[in-house]
Amino acid sequence: MSVHKDVKKVTTHVLQEMKNRGEKISMLTGYDFSMAKIIDASGIDVILVGDSASNVMAGHETTLPITLDQMIYHAASVVRAVERALVVVDMPFGSYQGNSKEALSNAIRIMKETGGHSVKMEGGEEIIESIKRILTAGIPVMGHLGLTPQSIYKFGTYVVRAKEEDEAKQLINDAKLLEEAGCFAIVLEKIPAQLAELVAKSVSIPIIGIGAGNGVDGQVLVVHDMLGINNEFSPRFLRKYNNLYEQMFSSFQEYITDVKSGDFPNKNEQY
């Protein structure tokens, strides 16, 4: 019954089949080899090498500073670890807006240099030329609508998007446009649950939500957030599956105590 269990390698076609059967899609971000190995072994369907690496790995306030070379470094590390999941790589800010020929050559660099399986791009109508050009090269594209963090300076805040009718209509139109262009899935970030459900019913491709309620075809979270590594970030939509901040903090403290007291290493821990 479950597509998930029978699949040795998740492809874009598998995700479509999951939507068709009503089986939810699981997706998490991943940025490095060691974490990606565990995430993949757990049976996740999709690993997103998100440009949120700019925040959680590099400590920037926004996703804007991360470069194409840095995204390629993270994505190649993840791909080396992954055996089963579909790997989606975020195209960073500035690598696809404006010039569709440049967008295509940047997407080709991502595919060639990382071994990733697809790219993700933020926006609708305004970037459709770049999306279409990348798709013509046979590169699968995941869309991203709603709160698109690369446009944070246009929005001004990280509050819920598309609460007003005009923006909601534009979002539905954009989702249909992305489907028509040939995107294989769309991420909807931080929009009202009712609107997200409507979008998921209005298009046939999978809709993956983050802060978009339960009426969509799958969910994505930033792995550091769901593990509770970052104890300063607790938005309403986030479910924390662990409190790794506390666990790591106390492990580091114990280690310091053991080193300072001379307890570590003991006779069995030396040559």
CB 39 within 8 A of CB 223: yes
Separation of CA 221 from chain center: 7
Number of residues that bind ligand KIV (CB under 6 A): 11
Q: Using the minimum distance from each CB to ligand KIV, give the nearer residue, 8 or 236.
A: 236
Of 68, 186, 220, 227, which lies in the binding site for ligand KIV, with binding defined by CB under 6 A? 220
Of 47, 199, 207, 222, which lies in the binding site for ligand KIV, with binding defined by CB under 6 A? 222
From 49-57, 76-84, 95-103, 235-243, span contacting ligand KIV (CB under 6 A): 49-57
**Cα-Cα end-to-end distance for the chain:** 54
Nearest-angstrom CA–CA distance, 39 and 176: 31
Phi-psi group of 160: left, alpha or beta (phi > 0 → left; psi -120 to 50 → alpha; rest → beta): beta
Nearest-angstrom CA–CA distance, 44 and 86: 9
From 7-15, 47-55, 162-170, 225-233, span contacting ligand KIV (CB under 6 A): 47-55
Of 30, 50, 146, 209, which lies in the binding site for ligand KIV, with binding defined by CB under 6 A? 50
Give Cα separations from 225 to 24, 29, 228 (angstroms). Answer: 21, 10, 5
Residue nearest to ligand KIV (CB): 50
Is position 26 an interface residue for ligand KIV (rule: CB under 6 A)?
no
Secondary structure (3-state) at 48: strand
- Facing residues of 121 across strands? 143
Catalytic residue among 23, 189, 197, 254: 189
Nearest-angstrom CA–CA distance, 164 and 149: 19
Q: Using the minimum distance from each CB to ligand KIV, give the nearer residue, 58 or 268.
A: 58
From 45-53, 124-132, 152-160, 229-237, span contacting ligand KIV (CB under 6 A): 45-53
Q: Using the minimum distance from each CB to ligand KIV, give the nearer residue, 5 or 155.
A: 155
What phi and psi, each to the nearest 5 degrees, are found at residue 26?
A: -105, 135
Instruction: In the chain, count H helices and then E strands.
Output: 12, 8
- What is the smallest separation between the CB atom of 252 and ligand KIV, expressed in angstroms? 26
Of 40, 90, 179, 225, which lies in the binding site for ligand KIV, with binding defined by CB under 6 A? 90
Is position 187 an interface residue for ligand KIV (rule: CB under 6 A)?
yes
- Facing residues of 220 across strands? 27
Of 23, 40, 51, 179, which lies in the binding site for ligand KIV, with binding defined by CB under 6 A? 51
Is position 29 an interface residue for ligand KIV (rule: CB under 6 A)?
yes
Respond yes or no: is residue 165 known to be catalytic: no
- What is the smallest separation between the CB atom of 258 and ligand KIV, expressed in angstroms? 36
Of the candidates 93, 99, 137, 139, the one whose C-alpha atom is nearest the C-alpha of residue 119 is 139
DSSP string, 205-234: S-EEEESS-SSSSEEEE-HHHHTT--TT--
**Which residues are tagged catalytic?**
189
Query: Footprint of ligand KIV on this chain (CB under 6 A)?
Result: 29, 48, 50-52, 90, 187, 189, 210, 220, 222
